[in-house]
């Protein structure tokens, strides 16, 4: 029976460890040398950048874009506002945050648009975000919590010439086992203890 109890404890510890393996990741775009962002994979996210549907090098990680603003602070991902920035997450994330600034002399509504897709790449929704001049240039922040996101596609208001993208925050880490919750874990305990008890009774009967 003690052996069965040890097995139960081991299983529970493993499940808790798997569920706790996910962690909040924040990228401030100063973690890597300056380089094109298209095709770059880092910390569980793969970036894509296209202009006119064609992969482009006109967006750089660790680049300057207007200094220290409210939602973006140099360095940032800086690129052509005519392009499309894509984020693909190795582990679908239920939380997604980032800031965008735009090289323009006016408030922009919307400043950028975010399309989200679930683990099966089915659309979750489309969110326009206004960009307002708070310090130097129009900027806005995207905040999301909900259905885990596998892909985010960001398009920019082409009134602006360039964009800055910064402070990307998401839930990352190795893909965990499906969350069981308290009742699921308790049920597993009961099941394993029941199996142990049956084995003990069978041994006694023989």
Whether residue 144 is contained in a domain is answered as yes
pLDDT of residue 67: 83
Which among 46, 71, 74, 50 has a CA at the least distance from the CA of 62?
74
Domain ranges, residue 87: 24-173
DSSP designation for 68 = B
pLDDT of residue 17: 44
Tens-digit pLDDT string for the chain (206 aa): 555 444 444 444 444 444 445 799 999 999 999 999 999 999 999 999 999 999 999 999 999 877 899 999 999 999 999 999 999 999 999 999 999 999 999 999 999 999 999 999 999 999 999 999 999 999 999 999 999 999 999 999 999 999 999 999 999 865 444 444 444 445 444 444 554 555 545 555 55
Whether residue 2 is contained in a domain is answered as no
Query: Domain count of the chain?
Result: 1
Ranges assigned E (strand) in 53-161: 54-55, 59-63, 76-80, 84-102, 108-117, 123-133, 138-156
Distance from C-alpha of 73 to C-alpha of 90, rounded to nearest angstrom? 26
What is the model's pTM?
Answer: 0.76
Q: What is the CATH number of the domain that holds 41?
A: 2.60.120
Whether residue 181 is contained in a domain is answered as no
Which among 81, 62, 104, 89 has a CA at the least distance from the CA of 151?
89
Distance from C-alpha of 163 to C-alpha of 81, rounded to nearest angstrom? 5
Pairing, β 35-36 against β 138-156:
unpaired
Q: Is residue 2 a contact partner of residue 149, using CB atoms and an 8 Å limit?
A: no
Whether residue 76 is contained in a domain is answered as yes
Q: Estimate the share of the chain in helix, then strand, then coil, as percent rounded to the nearest 5.
A: 20, 50, 30
């Amino acid at each position: 029976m003690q052996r069965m109890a040890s097995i139960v404890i081991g299983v529970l510890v493993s499940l808790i460890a798997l569920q706790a393996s996910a962690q909040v990741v924040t990228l401030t775009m100063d973690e890597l040398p300056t380089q094109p962002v298209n095709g770059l994979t880092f910390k569980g996210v793969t970036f894509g950048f296209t202009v006119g549907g064609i992969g482009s090098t006109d967006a750089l990680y660790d680049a300057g874009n207007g200094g220290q603003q409210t939602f973006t602070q140099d360095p940032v991902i800086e690129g052509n506002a005519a392009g499309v920035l894509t984020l693909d997450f190795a582990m679908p994330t239920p939380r997604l945050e980032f800031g965008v600034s735009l090289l323009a002399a006016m408030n922009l509504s919307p400043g950028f648009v975010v399309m989200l897709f679930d683990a099966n790449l089915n659309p979750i929704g489309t969110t326009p975000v206004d960009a307002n001049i708070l310090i130097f240039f129009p900027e806005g922040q995207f905040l999301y919590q909900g259905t885990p996101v596998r892909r985010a596609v960001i398009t920019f208001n082409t009134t602006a010439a360039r964009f800055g993208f910064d402070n990307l925050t998401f839930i990352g880490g190795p893909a965990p086992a499906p969350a069981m919750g308290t009742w699921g874990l308790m049920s597993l305990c009961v099941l394993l203890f029941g199996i142990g008890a049956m084995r003990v009774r069978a041994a006694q009967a023989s």
